[in-house]
Amino acid sequence: MTDRERQEIKNKLIELGFWGANEEGDPTSDLHAAEELQRRMKKRFATSFLSSTSFADVILRMREVRIGEDVFVAMCLSALAIPDYLKRHPECAAYLVAIR
What would the mean pLDDT of 72-100 be, rounded to a whole number? 76
List, for residues 9-67, the tens digit of each pLDDT value: 999 999 999 999 999 999 999 999 999 998 898 888 765 444 444 444 554 454 444 45
Position 69 scores a pLDDT of 62
Distance CA 93, CA 84 (A): 11
Query: Please, which pLDDT band fits residue 97 given cuts at 50, 70 and 90?
Result: low
Burial of 100 (0-12, 13-18, 19+ CB in 10 A): exposed
| Residue 58: DSSP 8-state | H
Position 51 scores a pLDDT of 43
Domain boundaries, the chain: 3-99
Q: Give the contacts of 14 (CB within 8 A, at least 6 positions apart).
A: 20, 21
Top-confidence residue, 71 or 31 = 31
Distance CA 26, CA 19 (A): 9
Q: How far is CA 69 from the centre of its chain?
A: 15
